[in-house]
Amino acid sequence: MYFIMILAFTLCLIVTVVLLLAMMFSKKTFLDREKSSPFECGFDPAVSSRLPFSLRFFLIALIFLIFDVEVVLLFPSVVSSNFVSLSGWFQVMVFFILVLLGGLYFEWKYGALEWAL
């Protein structure tokens, strides 16, 4: 068993080294103004391609993404409820939901959810 593990580790290490060496030696970069400029149908861009956006909108989107990932983490708990005791599963779920509510309270308290500046 250990022989297979050592062989797999060695093989992964060799493949990683070969790929890193191939990346370093085959890297071709020709940077010039034409290639690094934004492309709009062959013409120079009329306006800047970097538009300003609201920082508050970004924060709300980031908070939504964090809570969305946390909710997705709740779904496998339904499947795992068959493999553990009901009281242990319930304690873990209560703790997880309390952590979610604590994060929501923290964001609410420090004004991260308020749209107006």
Give the chain's domain count.
1
Q: What is the pTM of this model?
A: 0.46
Answer yes or no: is 97 within a domain: yes
Answer yes or no: is 39 within a domain: no
CA atoms within 13 A on the CB side of 55: 3
Answer yes or no: is 101 within a domain: yes
Residues 22-61 pLDDT 10s: 888 886 666 666 666 666 565 555 666 666 777 778 888 8
Q: 3-state SS of the chain: helix, strand, coil percent to 5?
A: 65, 0, 30
6-19 as b/e, with b when 16 or more CB fall inside 10 Å? eeeeeeeeeeeeee
Q: Report the alpha-carbon distance of residue 3 to residue 23 in Å, rounded.
A: 30
The pLDDT mean for the chain works out to: 81
> What is the reported pLDDT for 13?
97
Owning domain of residue 97? 55-109
Answer yes or no: is 33 within a domain: no
Q: Are 37 and 48 a contacting pair, CB within 8 Å?
A: no
Residues of the chain with pLDDT > 70: what percent? Answer: 76
Residues 6+ apart with CB under 8 A from 104: 67
Average pLDDT over residues 5-34: 86
Answer yes or no: is 20 within a domain: no
Answer yes or no: is 102 within a domain: yes
- Nearest one of 24, 49, 26, 51 to 36, comparing CA atoms: 49
Answer yes or no: is 29 within a domain: no
Q: Quick check: helix, strand or coil at residue 45?
A: coil
Answer yes or no: is 24 within a domain: no
